[in-house]
Amino acid sequence: MTDEFNFMDVNLEEVKDPEPLTAGDYPLAIKKVQANREKFYLQLMLVAADRPDAKPITYFLGFPQEGDEPSWANSKLLRIKKFREAFGLTEEEWNDRTFESWKDKQAIGMLELKNNGEYGMQNEVKGWLVQ
């Protein structure tokens, strides 16, 4: 007879907490994209392309909404523009609402290291290097 819970037999002794990266420029890859249609933003999970042991980075792209001040709406659009240029997303890829064509695309992100009280030390993308 097989044990229906044998999937729970795992080795937890070698599990390591991922570490954030020191501040600097790193190649980052898109691993996951989630759309929030109610609040008009995309939440992306980015990983350091050459550092699989590093802590993933959460990055948000907010879209203008009715009632946004013009300067705030422009800031959102500028953030989107720089992101799209950095990752080289074509019009066709940008319009891929499954986001499959975004997966594993890479760009150089300028990272800072910050202490987020709730989640501890985290990397934050301060900008993108467009090549």
Q: How high is the pLDDT of residue 7?
A: 87
Average pLDDT of the chain is 94
Tokens of 13: 């002794």
pLDDT over threshold 80, residue 40: yes
Residue pair 25/100 in contact by the 8 Å Cβ criterion: no
User: Among 89, 119, 118, which Cα is nearest to 106's?
Assistant: 89
Return the amino acid letter for 123: N
Q: Give the pLDDT of residue 60.
A: 97
Q: pLDDT of 74-109, one tens digit each?
A: 999 999 999 999 999 999 999 999 999 999 999 999
Q: Is the dihedral of CA 50, 123, 57, 104 positive or negative?
A: negative
User: At 73, is the secondary structure helix, strand, or coil?
Assistant: helix
Q: How far apart are CA 59 and CA 56, in angstroms?
A: 10
Give the pTM.
0.87
Average pLDDT over residues 25-37: 97
Which tokens is 91 given?
A: 């019009």
Q: What is the pLDDT at residue 131?
A: 73
Q: What pLDDT sits at residue 2? A: 61
Helix (H) or strand (E) holding 27: strand 24-36
Look at residue 3 in the predicted model and tell me its pLDDT.
Answer: 74
Most confident of 1-5, 93-97, 116-120: 93-97
Write down the residue that tokens 């929030």 correspond to: 36
Parse the chain into domains and list their residue ranges: 17-129
Task: Judge whether residue 1 has pLDDT over 50.
Answer: no
Instruction: Give me the percent of the chain exceeding a pLDDT of 90.
Output: 83
Neighbours of 60 (CB within 10 A): 12
